[in-house]
């Protein structure tokens, strides 16, 4: 199962609760993973046993033991964590016909990542530490336009890096999405910014 250790007084938890709830609905048909929300302060013994020291913390359990976790409020990483848990199954063995399901699971994972933020940037590195010039430039353009956006480091996940090229039919990075729709790469974003149309395009 996937456990959400949270506290009602922590604002980041409130925000991540919404993402967690949406993921639970998206994967409600899965027989392999249960989604459990835990008030950390009311279950101190459990939290301590699982090494939970801060909220929010998301722990994937298999046979009662933690096998993966995410500490902090990071929606794209939570989507990735849950997708991996659902894709591998934490309580059941994969069926013999698991190969086609894996392909479908990747598409579902990519869709969930793309939709994890109204404006979503797939880049090399992070906004505060870009790992290529193109990614650095697109972050600067977005910040200059005061655009709030989520991001995912494609260097951290080779499956996402290769799969998104096919999914979006766009062969290079960075890639910017708004409301689930591909806007384009650096050149497209730069052109929209120069023409004063970027914010309008992102707000749709």
Residue-level pLDDT at 94: 37
Mean pLDDT to the nearest integer, 159-176: 93
Task: Give the separation between CA 7 and CA 203, rounded to whole angstroms.
Answer: 32
- Of 33, 32, 41, the C-alpha closest to 13 is 41
What is the Cα 152 distance to its own chain's centre? 7
39: exposed, middle or buried (Cβ count in 10 Å: 0-12, 13-18, 19+): middle
**pLDDT one-digit tens code per residue, 40-72:** 888 888 888 888 888 999 999 887 788 899 988
Structure tokens at 154: 């494609």
What's the pTM?
Answer: 0.55
């Amino acid at each position: 199962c996937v456990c959400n250790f949270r506290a009602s007084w922590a604002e980041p938890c409130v925000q991540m609760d919404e993402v967690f709830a949406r993921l639970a609905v998206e994967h409600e048909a899965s027989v392999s993973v249960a989604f459990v929300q835990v008030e950390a302060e009311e279950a101190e013994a459990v939290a301590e046993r699982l090494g939970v020291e801060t909220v929010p913390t998301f722990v994937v359990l298999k046979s009662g033991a933690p096998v993966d976790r995410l500490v902090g409020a990071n929606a794209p990483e939570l989507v990735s964590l849950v997708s991996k848990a659902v894709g591998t199954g934490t309580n059941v063995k994969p069926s013999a016909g698991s190969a086609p399901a894996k392909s479908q699971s990747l598409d579902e994972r990519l869709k969930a990542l793309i939709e994890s933020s109204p404006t979503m940037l797939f880049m090399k590195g992070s906004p505060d530490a870009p790992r290529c010039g193109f990614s650095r430039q697109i972050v600067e353009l977005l910040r200059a336009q005061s655009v709030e956006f989520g991001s995912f480091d494609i260097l951290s996940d080779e499956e996402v890096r290769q799969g998104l090229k096919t999914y979006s039919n766009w062969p290079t990075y960075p890639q910017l999405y708004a409301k689930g729709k591909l806007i384009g790469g650096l050149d497209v974003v730069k052109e929209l910014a120069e023409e004063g149309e970027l914010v309008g395009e992102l707000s749709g």
